[in-house]
Amino acid sequence: MRGPCRLAAVGLSCSLGSRPGDVWGRLFDASAEPLSLRDDLVRGKSRHFAQVTDSLPEIPSGLERYGCRNNRIALRAYEAIRPAVDAAIERYGAHRVGVVAGSSTAGVAEAEAAVLEWRRSGTLPEGFDLLQLEYGGVSEFLSEVGGLGGPSYALSTACSTGAKALASARRLLDMNLCDAVVAGAVDSLCALTANGFEGLKALSPERTNPMSANRAGLNLGEGGALFLVTREPGGISLAGVGESSDAHHISAPDPAGVGAEASMQAALDDASISSEQIAYLNLHGTGTRQNDQMESIAVDRVFRASPPCSSTKPLLGHTLGAAGALEAALCWLMLENCVDGTMRVPPHRYDGIRDEGLPSLDLVGDGDMVAVEGATYVMSNSFGFGGSNCTLILRSDG
């Protein structure tokens, strides 16, 4: 029987900062400029990217084989939850604290540099290790850093990775394999991914413009978020998880939104609530024509009336495997910062010119607030390549 699943602590690092308070403030700052124009990732072209600009910690001595930017971003996120993890170790024992951490890039940027050096000199750079490139490197690294002895494994399901990591953490608790789990995902920018999305004609030459008639694609970003997931009651909990696989195409979603609809409905059923109880919906909202069309169609079918919703990718960029964890972290901050029955929700940043061919969604404007009372539920969508979909519902009892 499923027990409570508390998201007891959160740490994150992204284009808006690496401290929850900073991220929360910049989320609503219309003057914030989280995107950078770079010409070093896509050959011959300048594109906008959302990158981590805060200083990152060095890899601890003895763990140099894990030395890559991806793991340094993970370490920055982990620092915020380390006290809660240490307390869990003290309470349950290190063998009862697990790790589920995912990525879609891992240390590809370091591998790119290593290949270039090998082609130039015939030798690999000192300090390069294939472990930096492995998807499992993030989870292994976090286990080593935290001294965690519980189950430790990686996920890589494209853009649903971070959300699915939280779902997997809940399963480890349900199966009594762990008493606490560090769960989340991290992704860093690299030329391989940037050129791949450029080849798919999915990168926007301008700032991403989700749900607009003028939308032209996405901006890539980097960052990560990690949660400590426990069985303790109270606080902010993972109330519902929905997963589906429409397997329509290797990179394009089902245009009818069948998989997205199934994912959202499954999350509602898992949480034992109706769609009317969702106070806010964080859209996958990539700004590509295919995603925005299918997602708005699916939302229109699941909800009798659209809840307040927005895409936060114009601020975070599309962080790929990390997106589900990072956007869940933003939802956690929304619930954590509710004051006097009011929840502040992030505005939908776009040019304001709606695509009249899409179902009308209640897109959040600057300064919009949501009145809440009692149990409050927020939903977050993550839809990945190959139709790998995951929807999370977070709950706060106020």
Catalytic residues: 159, 284, 318
Alpha-carbon dihedral of residues 88, 93, 95, 100, nearest 10 degrees?
Answer: 0
The answer to whether residues 345 and 312 touch, using CB atoms and an 8 Å cutoff, is no
DSSP H stretches of helix in the chain: 20-26, 69-92, 108-121, 137-146, 161-174, 191-199, 258-271, 289-302, 313-316, 323-336
Element (H, E) at 36: strand 35-38
Taking the C-alpha atoms of residue 343 and residue 215, their distance in angstroms, rounded to an integer, is 29
Q: How many residues in the chain? A: 398
C-alpha 301/C-alpha 323 separation (Å) is 24
Complete DSSP assignment for 131-188: GGTSTTHHHHHHHHHHT--S-EEEE--GGGHHHHHHHHHHHHHHTTS-SEEEEEEEE-
Token pair 């990158």: residue: 51
Contact 328, 310 (CB under 8 A): no
Report which of 258, 240, 346, 250 is spatially closest to residue 295, judged by C-alpha positions. 258
Query: Which H or E run contains 9?
Result: strand 6-13
**What is the C-alpha end-to-end distance of the chain, expressed in Å?**
25
Cα distances from 355 to residues 158, 214, 349, in angstroms, run 27, 8, 14
